[in-house]
Structure formats: structure tokens, C-alpha cells
Structure 1
Amino acid sequence: MAIAVYGATGHTGRLVTAELLARGQDVILAGRDERGLRALAAELAAPDRVHVHVAPLDDSEALRRLARGADALNHCAGPFTTTGPPVAAAAAEAGIPYVDHAIEPHPVKHLFDAFQGTAERTGAVLIPQMSFYGGFGDLLAAAAAAGLPDVEKVTVGYAVTGWRMTRGAVSTANLLIGEIDRISYADGAQRIGPVEVRNSVFPFPPPVGPRTTIVPFPSGEVVTVPRHVPTRAVEVQLTASTFEEEQIFSSVDASPQERARTEFTVAVQVVRAGGGGRNAHVRGRDIWRAAAVASVEAVLRLTGGEGPCKAGVFSPAEAFEAAGFLRTLADQGVFEAALPEP
């Protein structure tokens, strides 16, 4: 079995590759930089298990060959506004499992809109935002809302300290900050257009506690959560202090050890129309490793026959039983989890 990692030379790609190798998988290092890919392959020193495939985004035939030669594809190279469609198209046409690390709501929406028919025809399963931002919120929302009637609102809160952005993350952030037409979900409907960015306070669990947040934070839960939680509103918030930290935009050359110092809490509050509701959260360190392990867990479940019983495009919580998936990640040391009892 060989898993393709597109964007393998980036920080997330390297973590995904290391996790796959640690779990006994062969890896195809893929991307646009041949010199970087071959240097990484030499660094890994596993010639029988590591292969290189150069596939620029504008070379559709090279991307198709990559997908045809892989058992699954883990897409790690952002911004996904640019990189997502051509790589996802190759996987969908080849009929193989695909996961990505998108955060941007528009590329997440595009995957559902553009590739459902192709995936159903070829037998592919595609999962966008199988990562830290977007993926954890989607899974927590499903775990917290399970069995609750009359859900009025799902609020996802991210508390992140020590975030050191990669070049790809900075490019993505610049796109999102300048975006005018944002996707939102309110009053039971998805909307695209300008939104008012404001401050709020989210009640994170101890030891974080209530924190001032940026609302809305542009993350893909506004697209995915309404697919499986019958709610009238979805909102994503991020601690305002995250972007006030001096190093966040100036750390593109940070070492892997420095990037691993991130601390995070992801919390979900599900509120019912008649009052009451339910909370769930995870807490851990190193958002990059957390994303890598989650995406690898998803890929290996899909290649092992675990996942949706039909082909198509799915959110993380549509593809897998949410609470069970989160507990597996907790058992693997990705985070500590506080989930509703089954």
C-alpha cells in the first residue's frame, strides 16, 4: 500500500509522512519541487518505502498519474483556494480516498459542489478539512449534538497560543483576511456575502476560561456542521490574543521544535431552542502534529475499509463516528478529550 502526500516537503507534509512511515505505510512524496522532494527522500533513508512523484498543479496528467499510482492521497499544500481543485480532481477521477487540510470555507464548499458526482461514479471518498481547524470543530459538534433535539446554535471556539505560521499558512491567512464575500450559516440557511467582524467572549473550559474572541473566524464548520447537525446557526470563534502574539506572522522560518510549542483548546457549545444544551472539548499541544495524526488516522481507516458505506464527499463527522474517532486520537496522545457519555 502506498499513500501519496501532496506537499510533502512542507511542515505538515513532513509530519504526515513521518506518521505514515511510523505506522508501516509506504509513501509517495509528491509536489512541485523536485529538488526538495528528492532531498526529503534521501533524508528519510528508506528507499524501499519512499518514492518521489513530481506533479505541478498545472500538470493534470502528472496529477492523474500520481492518483492512479496511490492507494490514497493526503493533501497538505495550501492555500487550498489554489491547490485544492486540481489535486482533488485527480483523486476523485482515480476513485481513491482523499483527505485535505483546508481551512478556507470556499474550497471546502467547492469540494462538495464540484466532486460529489465524480466520486459517486468512481467510488472515491473525499473528506475536506480533515485537520485541526475545521476538522476538530466538525467532529466535536457531532459528538456534542448527538441525540439532541431542537438545536438552535452550534458555536465552535478555538483558543490557540504560540501559533507559528508556515509560509502556506501566512498565504492562507492573507487570503482570508482580505476576503469580502464570506460563507456564513444563520437562520437555517447558508449565505455568501459581507459579514461584520466583531469581538465576543467564549466560555472556554478551565484552565483557559472566558476569553475575548474574533467572530466570525473563517473556518469550514459553517459548511460542514449543518450537513449532519440540524441546527439553525453555526458560528466559529478564535481567541483574539492569538493574532496579537508577536511571532505569529514572523515565524515562517521557525524550527519544527518551535512550531510544536502551540497550546490549544477546541470547545463546542450546542444550545437548544428551548434552553439547555451540551458542551465538548479537546485540549492539547502542537496543532501541526494533531492535524497530521488526525489526517493519517482518517486515511488508514478509509484504505482499511472503515468509513462511509458509499462513495462521495463527506465532512469528517459524516465519514466517521465522531466520538469514537476523537477518543482514538485521545488514546494516541493527540489531546485530552472531554466528551458527552455515550
Structure 2
Amino acid sequence: MNSTAPLFAVYGATGHTGRLVAAELLSRGQAVLLAGRNADALHALAGELGSPGLVRTQTAPLDDPAALRRLAEAADVLIHCAGPFTTTGMPVATAAAEAGTHYIDHAIEPHPVKNLFETLQATAGRTGAVMIPQMSFYGGLGDLLAAAVAEGMPDADRVTVGYSVTGWRMTKGARNTAELLIGEIDRVSFTDGALRVGPVEIRNAVFPFPPPVGPRSVIAPFPSGEIVTIPRHIPARTVEAQLTSSTFEEEQIFSSEDATPEERARTDFMVAVQVVGASGGGRNGHVRGHDIWRVGALASVVAATLLTSGEGPSKTGVLSAAEAFPAADFLRRLEALEAFTLHLPG
């Protein structure tokens, strides 16, 4: 890793999220190492970004552990943006953990998030790496919001994260991820105080989103990774994510591989968390905004820059977003960047 100015590697840099992350880092004057599998595409992107003094490229195929290790060793933080993480996650994360390089990814799938905690915790702790999976719109935002809502609540029993999303235009990687998740039989769930893997009944429910969205029919459970991370810092008996049923009914969602960046930005969202106490009562909080892709990119960049500026967690290893950073403070940083408007109890 560098001993002077930090270097941020962006794996999957030529995808939509990777481009947003690279551009955001460059807007902050940070040095960026564009990485991925296609050398020509990486060089073309470097030219488009137009910051020759700050941008380098490095090719690292997923099936080349030595190349991935060289990539990780060159950087201070590796931001992994290339899904589906079911297949891409472990090769890149393993290289970062073994090199002692901080790692952040945009995973949504629960299984890769669970595997990261189970497989790389000891290695990252030994090498001094901080590894934060799903620091993105899905997963990371719910994890942070749940922690902020439940802060100081002694008897949290059930945590439900509701996503209301309209106008989602999936990239090829997002579509491939969705197809994997839809066809998944053995799903990760958290019920009766335990993480479980097995068939899960998919049901229709209604989530009480606050105005102006209001109550909406949702898919429950929605397979998002905060069901793995939230129980790490909130002692609830049940954790579940839910997504508005109408999201997958919109015509454009699965046919938008060639959408422009401007079209992809036309999403509206609300993420709301309900924490119910064991003896009744509870708390609610939510964020509301536009462009889920930009929110994910900002979350990972803010986390990455905090890790290199001495404002990261005191412990190393694999951490959830809310274990790595004070949740309410982190959400307020994102609100200050106009990622969303934040509403917390009290």
C-alpha cells in the first residue's frame, strides 16, 4: 500500500456504479486505480475521466489470484463494484484480506455477505484490513438506518427494513444478480434470534411507509444483506427486509441494460425502518431521495475516504456499515451531500 497520498482501487470501474465511484473520488482530488478484466475498456474510461495525473489502470481477471493480489497490494482501499457478488465477491475480497488492504463492496446478496464474515474475519483481523460488505443503497443504508433508529433502545425485538423504489433501471450486473436471487431456493433469513439458511416462504405484506409514500404492498422477505449485518449490532429476534411489489412490475426494470446514466438516475426511493420493542411500542425512521445508484456510490466513497483519513473504526476485520462508523453521523454526512433527506426519531 502507499505510504503517502492514498490510492483508491475501483474494481469493476467500467460499470455504471464503478464509473460513479471513480468520478466521485476524482471530484475530491483522490488518486484512482481503475481495475477490472478488460484492459481496453479501462484505458478508454481513463481517457473519458480526463484526470491523467490522478488516474491509472490495472487489469486483474477474477480467475487470476496473483493479479488480484497485485491489485490489492497497490491500493489503500479496494472498492468492489462488479456484481453479481455471488461469483465475483470472494476472489477480490480474499486478495484484499490477504494483502491487508481495506475493502468495501456493493453486494446486495445475503450469501456473499454471510460468507465474508465467516471466511475472512480472521485473515482481515490478522493483516489489519477493514472489510465492509454492502456499503451501498441496498443493505448498507438499511443497516445504518436500523442502527440509528434503535440507538439506546434496550428491548428491540423485530427490525423491518422497507424499500420503496420506483424507476429502477437495472444494469446487466444488477439484472444477473436479480435473476440469481429470484431463483434461489436456500435463502438466508434471521428468525427467532438465529441466522438460518433454507427455503423461505415468500408472502405479500403491507409496509407502513410514512407520507408521502404511505402503506404499500411489499415482497416479504426481500433478499438483502442487512439481515446478516443488523443482528450483529441490534439484539433483535427477527430481522427482515421488504421491497414494494410494484418495483418489479414496472416495464423498464429488466429491459434497461442500454439506459443512459441520466435515465438510470431517475429513481425515487424511500427506505424506512421500523423497530418494535419486545414489550410493545417502538421507533421509526426513514430516508427519502432520488437516484439509488448515486447514493450507493456516495456511501462507498465516504466510507473509503474515512478509512484513509484516520476516522475509521478502531478494530479491524469484517464489519457491517454500522459497526464500522457511527450510524447517525454517517447518514448525516450523506444527507449533507444531498443523497437524501433523513428523518430519525426524536
Taking structure 1 as the reference length, the TM-score comes to 0.99
- Pick one of 220, 224, 230 that aligns with 1:225: 230
What is the match of residue 199 of structure 1?
204
Aligned residue in 2 for 1:90: 95
Q: Quick one: distance in 1 between partners of 2:151 and 2:105?
A: 25
| Matched residue SS, 1:133 | coil
Q: CA RMSD in A?
A: 0.6
1:123 corresponds, among 124, 128, 137, to 128
Structure 1: give runs of 5+ residues left out of the alignment: none
Greater than 4 Å deviation, 4+ residue runs: none
Question: Which residue matches 1:284?
Answer: 289
Match of 1:47 in 2: 52
Q: Residue type matched to 1:68 in 2?
A: E
**SS of equivalent to 2:58:** strand
- Residues 224-247 of structure 1: per-residue CA shift (max 9 Å, x gap): 000000100001100000000000
Determine which of 142, 152, 167 is the counterpart of 1:147: 152
Distance in 2 separating the partners of 1:60 and 1:188: 37
Distance 1:49 1:70 in 2: 13
Identity %: 70
**1:252 to partner: Cα distance:** 0.6
Question: Quick one: which of 61, 70, 73 aligns to 1:65?
Answer: 70
CA separation in 2, counterparts of 1:197 and 1:305? 43
1:329 to 307, 325, 334: 334
Amino acid at match of 2:341: E
> C-alpha separation between the residues in 1 aligned to 2:324 and 2:49?
32
User: Aligned partners of 1:4, 1:340: CA distance in 2, in Å?
Assistant: 37
Q: Name 2:109's counterpart in structure 1.
A: 104
**1: CA distance between counterparts of 2:261 and 2:224?**
24
- SS state of the match for residue 132, structure 1? coil
What is the TM-score normalised by the length of structure 2?
0.98
Please tell me the residue identity of whatever aligns with 2:122. G
Q: Distance in 2 between matches of 1:45 and 1:263?
A: 30
CA distance in 1, matches of 2:333, 2:48: 30
Structure 2, unpaired ranges of 5+: 1-5
Alignment correspondent of 1:267? 272
Matched length: 341
Q: Deviations over 1:7-30 (max 9, x none)?
A: 000000000000000011010000
For residues 191 and 317 of structure 2, the distance between their equivalents in structure 1, rounded to whole angstroms, comes to 26
State the shift of 1:340 in Å: 2.5
SS at match of 2:139: helix
